Amino acid sequence: MDSFSFVREVDDIFSRYWGGHYEVVSTFFSQPRPQEQLVAWLDVQLYKEIHVVPPKAQALIDMYDKLDTEVERSEYEAEAYEMADEIQHYRLLADIRELVTGKRLKATEAKATPEQVKLEGVRHRYEKSAPLVKEVGGFSPGGGVAFAAAGSVINGGPVERLLAQAFKVIYQQELAHYNQRRSIFDRLARKAGPSEHQQALQYARELARQHFILRNESFSYPLNPERVAEIDAGKVRPYTPPSL
C-alpha cells in the first residue's frame, strides 16, 4: 500500500465515526432530556478535559530537552496550546454544570466511565509503537470538532445557549489542534514505510470506534445498538473537519 492509499484509508475510518459523533450530539439535543442526563454528560466531559492536564504538563517537561533536535517546534507548540485549551474547556463546562446543579464538582471528583477506561486502554496499547502509529492518536481532536460542530448549533433556553457558546469555543480550538496534529501525521506518513501501515490502520479502527462508543455512552445512548451497527457498517454521513 502506498502512502496516499494509506492516508485515504485512515481518513475514511475516522470520518465515518466522526459522522457518528455529530449524530450523537444532534440526536441528544433534538428533544428535551432529563437534567440528570445533561449532568451525566457534563461529568464525563469534565473528566475528559481535565484528567489529561497532568500528563500533558509532564510531556512538555520531557520534550523540552529534545526541542529542536528530536522534537519539532511545531510539535512542542501544539502540545502547549492543547493543554491550555483543555483547561479552558473544563472551565467553560464546569461553570455551566455549577449553574445547572447549584453545586461545585472538584476537578479530582470527575471520574472515568467504563467506555472511557476502554478508550484509555486502546491508547495505552499503542503508546510505545513507531512514530507514525503513535501519531494516529492525533486524530482524536477530529472527534471533538464533529461533536462541537453539532453542539454549536443547538437551540433552547439559557442553558442550551450557554452550551452552544461553549461548543463554539471548543470547535475552533479542536479544529486548530486537529490541523496541527494532522500536518505532523501527514509528514510522518510520507516518510514511513509500508511496514508501519498495518499497525497504524489497526490503531485507527480501534481508536475511532471506541471514541465514538464513548461519545454515545456519555450522552446516555441516544443512538440505539441497531444504529451503532449501521454506523459500523458505514451507513452514516461522514464528517471531515475543514482545513484552516
Instruction: Say if residue 244's pLDDT is above 70.
Output: no
Average pLDDT, stretch 141-160?
Answer: 93
Q: How confident is the model at residue 61 (pLDDT cuts 50, 70, 90)?
A: very high
Instruction: Say if residue 75's pLDDT is above 90.
Output: no
**DSSP state letter for 138:** G
**DSSP state letter for 242:** P
Instruction: List, for residues 159-178, the tens digit of each pLDDT value.
Output: 999 999 999 999 999 998 89
Instruction: List, for residues 170-229, the tens digit of each pLDDT value.
Output: 999 999 889 888 888 999 998 888 888 999 999 999 999 999 999 999 999 999 999 999
Instruction: List, for residues 11-31, the tens digit of each pLDDT value.
Output: 999 999 999 999 999 999 999
Instruction: Say if residue 123's pLDDT is above 70.
Output: yes
What does the pLDDT read at residue 192? 86
What does the pLDDT read at residue 195? 84
What does the pLDDT read at residue 233? 97
| Half-sphere exposure of residue 70: CA atoms within 13 angstroms, side-chain side | 6
Q: Closest by alpha carbon to 115, among 207, 234, 31? A: 207
Q: Which residue has the cell 497504524?
A: 200
Average pLDDT, stretch 94-123?
Answer: 94
How many other β-carbons are positioned within 10 Å of the β-carbon of residue 221?
15
What does the pLDDT read at residue 145? 94
Average pLDDT, stretch 41-60?
Answer: 93
What does the pLDDT read at residue 120? 94
Q: Closest by alpha carbon to 156, among 32, 34, 37? A: 32
Average pLDDT, stretch 106-135?
Answer: 93
pLDDT cut 70: percent of the chain above it: 100
Q: Closest by alpha carbon to 19, among 237, 242, 216, 212? A: 237
How many other β-carbons are positioned within 10 Å of the β-carbon of residue 67?
13
Q: Report how far apart the first and last C-alpha atoms of the chain are (Å, whole number).
A: 28
Average pLDDT, stretch 64-93?
Answer: 91
Average pLDDT, stretch 111-135?
Answer: 93
**DSSP state letter for 150:** H
- Average pLDDT over the chain reads 93
Cell numbers representing residue 38 in the block = 445533561
